[in-house]
Amino acid sequence: MKTTIEALRGREILNSRGKPTVEVVLRCSNGVEVTASVPSGASTGKYEALEIYDGGERYRGYGTKTAAMHVTKEIAPKLIGLDVRDQRRIDQIMIDLDGSRQKSRLGGNAILGVSMAAARAGALAAEIPLYQYLGGLRVTRIPNVMSTVISGGAFSPSGLEFEDYLLALEGFDSFADQVEAISGMRWHLEKLCKTKYGPVAEDGGALAPPLRNTPEAFECMLEAARLTGCEDHVKLGLDVAANELYRQDRGVYEMTSGEMEPEALLAYYQRLAADYPLVYIEDAFHEDDWESFTKLTAALPQLEIVGDDLFATNVERLKKGIEQKAANTLLFKVNQIGTVTEALRTAEYATNHRFEIVASLRSGETNDVFQADLAVAVGAKRMKLGSPVRGERNGKYNRLMAIEEEIRLKDWM
């Protein structure tokens, strides 16, 4: 079968926030054509691969025609004729062609779209599912659901200090059962919030009620779990997004209750962990505060202390974190690093050093379900999927249910 790249082009599409992103169309010499679209984050760290935008008046400066043109005009001539199954070579050619540290010349949004499309075409050429193509024929672990049900922080109207308030599901018989449970909890939570607070705003599918503080949010979440009959299988998580709270000039975090120095914030996390079934804290401090991450990991070793902006799915930053015992869990976002090869390398390093992996969507998602397969491929313990009320989120839920069914049928047969 001929599996060489025959044509490659980029185009501008819209993501779930109504903001442009890049979609890549790749056609093989056997006539097979695939597409891949690139997710985008709202809360982004300074170490991520950089998306490039057009500037000017179109889409308030956020047009992606330049990045799409880079796919068609610069990347395509270098890749046409290559075998789509040679993922590492394809990705390395793009990295070298870009030549910058954070993919700022061609754009991480251009390079990643090509990388994802090549992987999808490679899986078709190999005639195996994408999750097996990326992770090996023996991958079977379906991640547990982790869902943002209440939003706060800089990008939410709720007034809560932290960015994401998460329900972490554990101990169910199947992923499909988890989906049923999270759907019920999200429904009960919305009903509770409307009863208490009146009409409730939404932010990316998560609820944004006018809550006063984190304990109040936790109580609402646990009540929704009780009403669904799932309280024994539900834990709590926080994505602090501490970069947004940090005031560098004063070295403090600006909380709803007032300013906190790192030591006081650490003590606050300890109180929350003592009072609630908290199992997960992501980006507890700003992305360069390695010392505070190390102290938190030592103070709460039973929790998943998660590096998102801290690691940026970058193997070199992960190595530093492992050496300093700063965190014990990697948040895995393929668009942070910008190629499938580099993302897989970081995940492999995490696994080899006994770090757990939590795969994650971005706030600016697309209908592409690539990340669901990727989460299974790297053996993620959890996957942050968002509330199951929007198409770009539910596509990933549905894909993971399909993968689970496929794996179970193979075991049965």
Segment 59-80, tens digit of pLDDT: 999 999 999 999 999 999 999 9
Q: Which residues, 6 or more positions from 108, have their beta carbon under 8 angstroms from its beta carbon?
A: 48, 49, 50, 51, 52, 102, 335, 338
Looking at residue 158, what is its pLDDT?
A: 76
Minimum mean pLDDT among 79-83, 154-158, 160-164, 248-252: which range?
A: 154-158
Q: Which residues form the domain of 88?
A: 5-127
Say whether both 67 and 200 belong to one domain. Answer: no
Mark whether 149 and 11 lie in a shared domain: no
The answer to whether residues 331 and 222 belong to one domain is yes
**Residues 315, 407: one domain?**
yes
pTM of the model: 0.96
Give the pLDDT of residue 411. 64
Is residue 168 helix, strand or coil?
strand
pLDDT digits (tens, 9 = 90+) for 4-36: 999 999 999 999 999 999 999 999 999 999 999
Domain co-membership, 175 together with 201: yes
Whether residue 328 is found in the same domain as residue 276 = yes
Does residue 210 share a domain with residue 264?
yes
- State the pLDDT at residue 69: 98
Identify whether the C-beta of residue 237 lies closer than 8 Å to the C-beta of residue 278.
Answer: yes
Q: Are residues 174 and 251 in the same domain?
A: yes
Same domain as 75, residue 31:
yes
- Going by C-beta distance under 8 Å and a sequence separation of 6 or more, which residues neighbour residue 61? 53, 54, 55
- Of 250, 343, 360, the C-alpha closest to 304 is 360
Provide the number of structural domains found in the chain: 2
Nearest to 24 by CA among 54, 67, 58, 84: 67
* Domain-ending residue, one of 95, 127, 159: 127
In the predicted structure, residue 168 carries a pLDDT above the cut 60: yes
Cα–chain-centroid distance for residue 370?
A: 12
Q: What is the CATH number of the domain that holds 305?
A: 3.20.20.120
According to DSSP, the residues that pair with 282 across neighbouring strands are 239, 306
User: Among 69, 98, 127, where does a domain finish?
Assistant: 127
What is the pLDDT at residue 381? 98
CATH number at residue 80: 3.30.390.10
Specify whether 86 is located in the same domain as 235.
no
Q: Are residues 238 and 345 in the same domain?
A: yes
Say yes or no: 172 and 230 in one domain: yes
Give residue-wise pLDDT tens across range 246-300.
999 999 999 988 899 999 999 999 999 999 999 999 999 999 999 999 999 999 9
The residue out of 104, 127, 150 marking a domain boundary is 127
